[in-house]
Amino acid sequence: MTTEITKYKAPDLEKDRRILQLLSQNFPTISAASTEIINLEAILNLPKGTEHFVADIHGEYEAFRHILKNASGNIKRKVRDIFSSTMRDSEIRELCTLIYYPRPKLELIKAVEPDLSNFYKITLNQLVKVCRSVSSKYTRSKVRKALPKAFAYIIEELLHETPDDIKKQAYFNRIVETIILTGQADEFIIAICEVIQNLAIDRLHILGDIFDRGPGAHLIMEMLADYKDFDLQWGNHDVLWMGAAAGNVQCIANVLRLSLRYANMTTLEEGYGINLVPLVTFALETYGEDPCSEFAPRGGDLDVVQSDKTRMMLARMHKAIAIIQFKLEGQLITQHPEWQMEDRMLLNAIDYTNGTITVDGEIYPLNDTYFPTIDPADPYRLTPEEQNIVDRLRHSFVVSEKLHRHIGILLTRGSMHRVYNSNLLYHASMPLNSDGSLKEIAIDGKRYAGPALMNALTQKIRSAFASDTTEDDKQRAIDYFWYLWCGPDSPLFDKSKMATFERYFINDKKTHVEEKGEYYKLRDREEVCDAILDAFKVDGPHRHIINGHVPVRVAKGENPIKANGKLMVIDGGFARAYHNTTGIAGYTLVFHSRGFELVQHEPFTSAEDAVATGKDIVSTNRIVELSAHRMRVRDTDKGHELQTQIDELMELLYAYRNALL
């Protein structure tokens, strides 16, 4: 685009007059329009903001929070760059811990520091330097919006004045001294540390599965409620909880079963106030003499901390809700023959006399034959006691105010997919045919593939909570949450079956196999990924698919970068239950102005340990892709929007200069 107004293309007044008239209301003069063009052009030439991508957090609140606080190790790298020649490693570690956890760290420091005034003076100067570094790629306006109101003016002055300038040195020093003198040093340090954290990550992308396994999903959602700039793509576990909140009893049963399987009752009880007393009473009465050995809780170190009595109670609750789940799922499959999931109705495949089951034409012995609530003549009918439990659980989920507030965040910020800065984001899969072409999936009698499928599913999920949805459409949408959770053609599952029953009751592991869809067989092929990207109109010389869902088995040598760099799988196993599987404790994919880096994290202990000892998450950086030139804002989606605004303003200038308006 030429910047010479006289050479700029004249506007088509018949076509553009309305746009120019609207623009002229905000920019009524040549001077106003010119100033805005100068401002926007300057923004286009700033370095691109840093994006962080995470997936499959699974309730690991402490680790996730720490990664946001240390910006996946980026803050420590900046501190090292600034102070490596003037500070020891132990001092750098202490400063970083202060940035991550300012309030508790200050309390520890104040208890042992003999010269607080000197500590404040040194620390404030150090923090200003760090803040200046992380804010350098943003406009003053954007930085100003990130500042706390109480200290906005002072922080802005410190950031944009150079204390090395002898003319300003006394001014700079006096600001710091006055902060200390007025007793505001603690609050100011806390404020500037939070600014550093906020500016270190420009945009956060969460690629699904906030819920299940770990104990802090509700805490993560509460933190995201106040987070400045993020989007999320729904995962199968998120959709399961959304279905439960909408009243889908099959989803509710699965939510409880998974919580009991991983001994994670915190989110249910403390987070959302779900009443589990009826289930406890029923389980102890019905399965009180049953060892329920296949239902003992598992996952990470959670099974170690439970007493034998508590573990046995959880196991009995686990079996009770599992049997209820299988009954409810059979009822829903019968109601929806179009899903073609009759093979998942296994309760009527059991020979209750001989203790065997027929699966795919073969007979297998059951490892557990105690089914006191199943009527062999009508195996999917709930007993009155089971029906009462289901009704009461459904009521608890439907009326939980906090759960619905968090589901509202998922609906507002989330979708099935997103295209952002030449990256296609989705949680798990894109249904494909065996030749790599997009597979058409039937939803309510209509067939969709690729972007049309993802858009249709996004709309269907939203309709379950929309006030203007008809009752029939709403119920179909509520039912469909369960299909999204475990249906063979669901983009959030994409396997032949979910072998939950087989894993509990059949020892032969060949029945446990869940055959993955064609996407997982073809995703290593670059031409297949290119075809998917083309279908979603993702352009640019460096375009990628980014997803999670399937843990990358790093310990066994699996590479998260596939299809010659076109596909990045970033499920590194945040959840403790996956640490043995993956060999690590999560990934963060970082997209900054120089390119992509994959940050591999080791297990995190606790925030208390980090504050007391300065222990950080050990992270390993791997360069995935470097750009030939440093990316600027003009290379991003936001830059394209700003360029359109500049083009329109240039037309407005032409119109002003030539008296066309």
- Residues 616-630 have pLDDT tens digits of 777 777 778 887 788
Please tell me whether residues 626 and 652 are part of one structural domain.
Answer: no
Q: Would you say residue 343 lies in a domain? A: yes
β strands within 505-594, DSSP E: 544-547, 561-562, 567-569, 587-592
Flag whether 543 is in a domain.
no
How many residues does this entry show for the chain? Answer: 661
**Is the pLDDT reported for residue 570 higher than 70?**
yes
Q: Does 177 share its domain with 316?
A: no
User: 440 with 527, same domain?
Assistant: yes
* Residue 246 within a domain: yes
In this structure, are 273 and 392 located in the same domain? yes
> Are 381 and 441 found together in one domain?
yes
Q: Flag whether 411 is in a domain.
A: no
The answer to whether residues 344 and 401 belong to one domain is yes
* Residue 522 forms part of a structural domain: yes
Residue 213 lies inside a defined structural domain of this protein: no
The pLDDT tens digits for 584-594 are 677 889 999 88
- Among candidate residues 496, 531, 566, the one where a domain is terminated: 531
- For residues 507 and 559, what is the distance between their CA atoms, to the nearest angstrom? 31
Of residues 287, 281, 279, 282, the one with CA closest to residue 397: 279
Q: How many domains does the chain have?
A: 3
Which residues, other chains included, contact 37 with Cβ-Cβ below 8 Å and sequence gap of 6+? 646, 649, 650, 653
pLDDT tens column, 78-92:
999 999 999 999 999
Q: How confident is the model at residue 304 (pLDDT cuts 50, 70, 90)?
A: very low
Residue 261: per-residue pLDDT = 94
419 within some domain: no
**pLDDT reported for residue 583:** 66
How many CB atoms sit inside 10 A of residue 21's CB? 12
Asked whether the beta carbons of 587 and 570 are under 8 A apart, the reply is yes
The whole-number average pLDDT for the span 168-180 is 84
- Checking if the pLDDT of 511 tops 90, the result is yes
Same-domain check for residues 624 and 650: no
Q: Band of the pLDDT at 6, cuts 50, 70, 90?
A: very low
**In the listed set 505, 531, 557, which residue is the last one of a domain according to the structure?**
531
Phi, psi of 212 (to 5 degrees): 80, 155
Check residue 163 and give its pLDDT. Answer: 55
Pairing of strands 619-626, 595-601: antiparallel
Pairing mode, if any, of strands 567-569 and 561-562?
antiparallel
Distance CA 461, CA 478 (A): 8
In the predicted structure, residue 93 carries a pLDDT above the cut 80: yes
- Distance CA(281)–CA(389), nearest Å, equals 10
| pLDDT single digits (tens) 428-458 | 999 999 999 999 999 999 999 999 999 999 9
> Domain range holding 560?
51-207+548-631
Residue 228 located in a structural domain = no
Among residues 203, 50, 196, the alpha carbon closest in space to that of 630 is found at: 50
Average of per-residue pLDDT values in the chain: 91
Statement to judge: residues 84 and 34 lie in one domain: no
146 lies in the same domain as 120:
yes
Residue 173 sits in the same domain as residue 254: no
Closest by CA position to 218, among listed 185, 180, 245 = 245
Distances (CA, A) of 541 to 139, 153, 333, 562, 595: 27, 42, 45, 17, 12
| Residue bearing tokens 């983009």 | 491
Shared domain for 486 and 555, answered yes or no, is no
Same domain, 94 and 186: yes
* Digit-coded pLDDT (tens) for 519-567: 999 999 999 999 999 999 999 888 999 999 888 887 788 889 999 999 9
Considering 499, 531, 563, which residue would you say is the last residue of a domain? Answer: 531
